[in-house]
Amino acid sequence: MFEKVWNNYRVKEYGLFSEYYPNTYKPDLTYFQDSARKAQKVSFLWPMSGVFSSVNLLAELDPRNYSVYQDSMVKAVEMYYDDQRTPPGYQAYPVCFEKVDRYYDDNGLVGIDYIDAYKSAKNPVYLAKAKEVMTFIMSGWDDNYGGAVSWLEGHKDQKPACSNGKATVLALKLYEETKEQQYLDLGLRYYNWMMEHLLDDSLNIIWNSLLTEKGEVQQHAYTYNTGTMIQAAVRLYRFTGEEKFLKEAREMAEGSYRYYVKTTPEGVVYISDLPWFVTVLFRGYQDLYEIDGDTKYVDAIIASADYAWEHARDVAGLIYNDWTGRNDEKTKPKWLLDESCMIEVYTRAAMIRGEIE
């Protein structure tokens, strides 16, 4: 999968990646706050981060073969770095092309990628970058509704799980690597806000956002929002030893399993969400598995991904957006984020199965 993504999506001229394969496909992209935008000559930051995350995992497991790709990804992400606004941060499209918005959730991804890169490479520059991202995210903090940050810099209309959940995980990963108390304190601030405002106590899943203009919770559910909080809860349990955090991790794992894991009439297990969203949930499930040793939750995602490998690959060997293969996507253009995350999924599956250490 790594070879397919690197060879099919890489835009060598810029050292970046295309939004879709083939790169001639330029649809409207709808994952922005203001309006849809057409796909450009290279991808926006979010899909590119999926490659960075996958490379980090491979480089951690096999530095001899993958550290060179990690170096390439650092060069790539720095093309999105904007130091003309204060504080510096990462914008949604490379600065060499145009000035665009800066999203707090995008920056959370960059920060997590950098602290993960630091974990394997021990390059102090990566740690400094992760800390700088945390500073940028905190610049968006306000005390309205008890704290937290918005989605987009300069807009205060919502406080979403995507921005605040990633900030939680970033802060706790920073603490994990530095043991600096300020990051544990920050992680707890974000975690407590998320659990107070966005946790559904009956379903044990995380809702999408607090709409601050209306003062109500947007009850859209995406797997990755619960996944980030499972990751956070497991880390807080490891750091503090408090059983409450392990209990909450288990409750969210079970809640998300009941809410998202489905079975087709033909008996195929699948998770009803976008592949990258499922990947983030998988991270949380794997973290909990490493504490509990219970394979129930990771097995569901591995089974679904295994089925996709056998029954939902196109003519280029890329995985369908729909892992069940019920829709024919053999010739449909494939989004970078849908494919780059599969590298991570199969690598994590190999780790859990004991195929690699």
Which string of DSSP letters, residue by residue, matches 123-135? -HHHHHHHHHHHH
pLDDT band at 356 (very low <50, low <70, confident <90, very high): confident
The answer as to whether 87 is a domain residue is yes
Give the tens place of pLDDT for each residue, 262-293: 999 999 999 989 999 999 999 999 999 999 99
Tell me: pLDDT of 191 over 90. yes
* Structural domain includes residue 102: yes
Q: Which residues of 234-261 are buried (b: 16+ CB within 10 A; e: fewer)?
A: bbbbebeeeeebbebbbbbbebbbebbb
Domain of 34?
A: 2-352
Number of domains observed in the structure of the chain = 1
Nearest by Cα to 337 from 24, 103, 17, 69: 17
The average confidence (pLDDT) of the chain is: 97
333: phi then psi, degrees, rounded to nearest 5: -55, 145
Q: What is the rounded CA–CA span in Å between residue 31 and residue 106? A: 11
pLDDT (tens digit, 9 = 90+) per residue, 213-270? 999 999 999 999 999 999 999 999 999 999 999 999 999 999 999 999 999 999 999 9
Q: Is residue 357 part of a domain?
A: no
pTM check: above 0.85: yes
Residue 158: predicted pLDDT: 97
Question: pLDDT value at position 36?
Answer: 79
Share of the chain above pLDDT 90, in %: 98
User: 249 in a domain, yes or no?
Assistant: yes
pLDDT tens for 148-185 read 999 999 999 999 999 999 999 999 999 999 999 999 99
Indicate the pLDDT class of residue 127, thresholds 50, 70 and 90: very high
- Predicted local distance difference test score (pLDDT) of residue 288: 98
For residue 33, pLDDT over 90 is answered with: no
Task: Quote the distance between the C-alpha of residue 229 and its chain's center.
Answer: 12
Let me know if residue 109 belongs to a domain.
Answer: yes
69 belongs to a structural domain: yes
DSSP one-letter code for 198: T
Q: How confident is the model at residue 34 (pLDDT cuts 50, 70, 90)?
A: confident
CATH number at residue 303: 1.50.10.20
Residues 6 or more apart whose CB falls under 8 angstroms from that of 39 comprise: 19, 20, 25, 26, 27, 28, 29
Give the side-chain half-sphere CA count within 13 A for 203.
16
